[in-house]
Every structure is written in C-alpha cells, then in structure tokens.
Amino acid sequence: MNKVKFSDYLIQQAEPYWQQATDHGFIRDMVDGTLDKKVFANYLVQDYAFVRVFADLIAYAIAYSKTLEQKHRLSTFLSMITSAEDDYFIRSFEALGVEPSHYLDPNLAVFPSIQGFHDEIKKAIDSGAEVGYANCMTIITCAEAVYCHWGVKYREKSPEAFYFNEWITLHNNDYFQSLVAWLKSEMDQLGEDQKVDREQLSALFTKICQLESQFFDESYL
C-alpha cells in the first residue's frame, strides 16, 4: 500500500475547507464573467493588502531556506508577484475605477479573513530559523495550491473582461503549475523530517484553507 504524501494528507485533513475554498460560488461567478464588478474590485483591493504582506512571507522563507534551489524557486516566485502580478493589479484597479489612494491606503480596513492571514503570516515569520521555513512554506503552499486547483479546473473558461480572464491564467499557466508542484514536493520532504511537527503544520494548513473560504464569503458583503 502506497504511503500518502504529506501534501495530500494536508489537503485531506483540511476538509471541508479545502473544498469550500477551491469550488466557491465566488470562483464560479468570476470564471463565468457574471461576478459583480464592485464585488471583484473590493476583493482585489483586499487581496492586494494580502499580497503585500505575503511578499514579506516569501522573503522570510527565502532567508530561512537552506539550499540554492529553494532560494532560486522562491525568489523567482517573489519576482513574479512583484512584477507581472503587480502589473495585473494596477491595470485592473484602473479598469475598475479604484483609485490608488484607496488600494494603497496604509489605514485600509481589511476583512477579518485578511487580518487572519496577516496574523498567521506574522507568527510564521517570527517563529525563527529552526521551524520558520516549514511554517512559511505551509502558508505559501496552501494559498497557492488553492488557487492553482481552481485555476486548472477552469482553464477552459475565458470571460470577456481581462481582469477576470487574466486572473484565471495567472493561476493555471505552466510556470504556476510547476511552482505548486514544487511547493508540494517541499512539503512532502518536510513531512519526512523527524524534527517537524506534522500535526502543527496540518492545523496551520487547515487554518489557511478556512481563511481562503472565508475571504470569498466576505467579498460578497
């Protein structure tokens, strides 16, 4: 009998939140192009607040990593987020009529889910060199695996609005799929490390899944 990979175990243990996060009504409305533009604009503003802190998380994962391959993979990912993905956000905000003064507001009121992300990211960053890489990678892997899952599932969808269409392709292109495959392989290796608390990482993965689902819920409010 084949042993369950740790990355698969994390997903299994994260139910029902994994299912809720990867097949949410928000996603289905978005890929069909029927999502209200104001709802999506609000979502993007909140996601931009998440991404700016998420970039710090990736930077710390790079610092906590041990190998050049890890540093290369993560630094390439950080470069993509701060270049191509950032360009997508800026163009989308302009098309949706969102002013820079709003999405760059340092005092922006964030959703409870986004605050939850920020709190978990801070704890991972502050956890130190011994466990910091595992904690940071668990959050990164969960967040990106959720988006890759629905991105690949709906890769045949092509809504007219570029801010819908490009959001899908950003999460199903070959590079992104290979990144998520690598992230999962890193989690599989961490799961074999006797110094790693598997159940603590599982609880963290589940928490991030729950926040992802909650974020989609809150975007409609």
| Tens-digit pLDDT profile for residues 113-166 | 999 999 999 999 999 998 999 999 999 999 999 999 999 999 999 999 999 999
Residue 1 lies in a domain: no
Residue 21 lies in a domain: yes
Is 144 assigned to a binding site? yes
User: What torsion, rounded to 10 degrees, do the Cα atoms 71, 76, 79, 83 define?
Assistant: -170
Owner of token pair 């904690």: 135
Residues with catalytic annotation?
Answer: 212
Is 160 assigned to a binding site? no
Is 69 assigned to a binding site? no
The domain total for the chain is 1
Range of the domain at 86: 6-219
Residue 137 lies in a domain: yes
| Tens-digit pLDDT profile for residues 40-60 | 999 999 999 999 999 999 999
Across the chain, mean pLDDT equals 97
- Residue 83 class from Cβ within 10 Å (0-12 exposed, 13-18 middle, 19+ buried)? exposed
Residue 150 lies in a domain: yes
Percent of the chain surpassing pLDDT 90: 95
What is the pLDDT averaged over residues 55-83?
Answer: 98
The pTM of this model reads 0.97
| Tens-digit pLDDT profile for residues 166-197 | 999 999 999 999 999 999 999 999 999 988 89
**CATH assignment at residue 75:** 1.20.910.10
Residue 86 lies in a domain: yes
